[in-house]
């Protein structure tokens, strides 16, 4: 009888929660500074989500520790759906990259929806004397430990892509993390670092302006935006495929009807032609997947990046 009573109480609570949701402004947490794909996703979804839910959606950039500071904030928020996270590859990578985390990614966070994905690119600065991936690796081997590469922070797919290139290319280079993609790109343009991986959406203007050299893309297929650039697979690395992705999560324990409401609204928003076009401008693709599918995708990403972290030897602690 107690079990039945508890189940009824939980159902009533969930129903009441949905009836009152949302009852106040929603906080949409971005774990990296403005200028990256997580911030772009938040600013593309935020106004539309606000209109759909009838409450303001306040975007907050809580940066640091490879995305862990903002993620921890959402993990420890009240489980009522009023605090959302723009998730990205670091949420899968950090499970293996850090020895300890202040939260359990699988238990303390709840998937809502996958939002989109985009290719990453390998670029070099104006002072790096190479024109291809093969030339970069040869140059790095001739100068062991003297090259450095930038990233938008520890634990990102950008960071780990550099570690994987070192592993597969059998050379050494020093990782220099920055707080966000714009700062990393500024260092590359200034010649303070030799190369970096970056989201296509961030690097595209600099590539088109001829300020950085595009050596390869990390997706399985060539980018329609830069069809002459080879993939890393074509460049001799058959297992090198990395894509940036973004999604929405909330606090673990949030009532299922609230998650279902958010999922339904995001499904509608991500099918809107204007939103799809907005994603395409920086080289991203809007791609909806619901809570269950996103959860399965995240589990697969956690497993995949665990292998990558092990092979690369990368550690952020």
CATH number of the domain that residue 138 is part of: 3.40.190.10
Residue 156 lies in a domain: yes
Q: How far apart are CA 8 and CA 16, in angstroms?
A: 12
Lowest mean pLDDT among 5-19, 134-148, 222-236, 247-261: 5-19
Question: Do 146 and 164 belong to one domain?
Answer: yes
Question: Do 14 and 104 belong to one domain?
Answer: yes
| Confidence (pLDDT) at 66 | 84
Question: Do 114 and 6 belong to one domain?
Answer: yes
Question: Do 207 and 252 belong to one domain?
Answer: no
**How many structural domains comprise the chain?**
2
Kindly state the average pLDDT of the residues 69-92.
97
For 12-62, the pLDDT digits (tens) are 455 555 578 999 999 999 998 888 889 999 999 999 999 999 999 999 999
Residue 290 lies in a domain: yes
| Confidence (pLDDT) at 205 | 92
Q: Does the pLDDT at position 201 exceed 90?
A: no
* N- to C-terminal Cα separation, the chain: 48
Residue 234 lies in a domain: no
Mean residue pLDDT across the chain: 91
pLDDT classification of 317: cutoffs 50, 70, 90: low
């Amino acid at each position: 009888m107690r079990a039945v009573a508890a189940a009824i109480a939980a159902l009533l609570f969930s129903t009441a929660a949905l009836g009152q949701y949302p009852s106040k402004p929603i906080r949409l947490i971005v774990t990296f500074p403005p200028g990256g794909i997580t911030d772009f996703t938040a600013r593309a979804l935020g106004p539309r989500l606000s209109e759909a839910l009838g409450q303001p959606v306040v975007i907050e950039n809580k940066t640091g520790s490879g995305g862990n500071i903002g993620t921890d904030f959402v993990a420890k928020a009240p489980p009522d759906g009023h605090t959302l996270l723009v998730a990205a590859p670091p949420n899968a990578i950090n499970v293996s990259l850090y020895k300890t985390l202040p939260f359990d990614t699988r238990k303390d966070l709840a998937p809502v929806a996958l939002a989109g994905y985009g290719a990453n690119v390998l670029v070099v600065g104006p002072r790096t004397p190479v024109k291809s991936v093969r030339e970069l690796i040869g140059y790095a081997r001739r100068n062991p430990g003297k090259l450095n590469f930038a990233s938008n922070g520890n634990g990102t797919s950008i960071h780990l892509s550099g570690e994987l290139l070192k592993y597969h290319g059998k050379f050494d280079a020093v990782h220099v993390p920055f707080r966000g993609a714009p700062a990393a790109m500024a260092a590359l343009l200034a010649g303070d670092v030799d190369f970096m991986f970056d989201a296509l959406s961030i690097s595209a203007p600099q590539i088109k302006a001829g300020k950085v050299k595009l050596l390869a893309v990390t997706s399985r297929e060539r980018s329609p935006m830069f069809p002459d650039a080879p993939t890393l697979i074509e460049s001799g690395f058959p297992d090198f495929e990395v894509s940036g992705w973004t999604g929405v999560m909330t606090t673990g324990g949030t009532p299922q009807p609230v998650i279902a409401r958010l999922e339904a609204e995001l499904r509608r928003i991500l099918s809107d032609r204007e939103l799809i076009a907005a994603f395409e401008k920086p080289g991203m693709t809007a791609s909806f997947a619901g809570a269950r599918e996103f959860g399965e995708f995240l589990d697969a990403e956690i497993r995949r990046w665990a292998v990558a972290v092990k092979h690369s030897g990368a550690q952020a602690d």
